[in-house]
Amino acid sequence: MIWLRRLVIFSLVAVVLYVGVVFFIDRSLPLSDTDATHFDTLIVLGYPAYPDGTPRPEMRERVLESVREYRAGVAPRIIMTGGAAHNRTIEAHVMAGVAEAQGVPSSAVIEEGQAHDTIQNAYYSVKIMQAHGWHSAEVVSSPSHLPRASLIFAHFPITWRMHAAPWPPEYGFFHRARNEWYEAIDTARIRITSFPESRFLSAR
């Protein structure tokens, strides 16, 4: 039985080391390339809406946080980015509706409705910024999403800062932990192997 006990201990140590390395790779990423506190625009990264067009909890919290940042004067406008990536509902349109229902004027909200993933969120949002002569953005998303998003935005010629929306109150500990783990795995994989080739991923 000694060998079995040693095997169990070895397995536990290996798992702990694996989890630790994954989270170290994920959490050691910088979440900003600037000390600025004010930006030309906010960018809210999309999240799937329900098929009936109502926002899911993470989408709602991302938008509500962007509204708070807008009201605090962090940026004078908000780019909502996200297409019909998971169903027929255009994420940006749903997010714009939530922001406008909170009192943000429609003139301050820009809908980017083509993106189907985070790389495309960055690509199309930066295209909008370049068309208007804007150079800096605060990017709003869920806490677990920010390290991977920072890897992506670092490829684009803008000044950026990541900003976390709060977790939805209806998310329990295990729901949050699951999201954190899956995102950390994705981020670690990308840092080790790099992004697959994509026409949407610019070289800085």
Q: pLDDT tens digits for 130-150?
A: 999 999 999 999 999 999 999
pLDDT per position as a tens digit, 53-88: 999 999 999 999 999 999 999 999 999 999 998 888
DSSP conformation class of 145: G
Q: Which residues of 123-134 are buried (b: 16+ CB within 10 A; e: fewer)?
A: bbbbebbeeeeb
Per-residue pLDDT of the chain (204 residues; tens, 9 = 90+): 776 666 556 566 555 554 454 444 556 678 899 999 999 999 999 999 999 999 999 999 999 999 999 999 999 999 999 999 888 899 999 999 999 999 999 999 999 999 999 999 999 999 999 999 999 999 999 999 999 999 999 999 999 999 999 999 999 999 998 998 888 888 888 888 888 888 888 644
**Pairwise CA distance, residues 107 & 74, whole Å:** 17
Rg (CA), the chain: 19
- CATH superfamily for domain 36-193: HUPs (3.40.50.620)
Domain ranges (residues) in the chain? 36-193
**Pairwise CA distance, residues 94 & 187, whole Å:** 27
**Pairwise CA distance, residues 47 & 70, whole Å:** 20
- Chain-centroid distance of CA 9 in Å reads 37
DSSP conformation class of 161: E
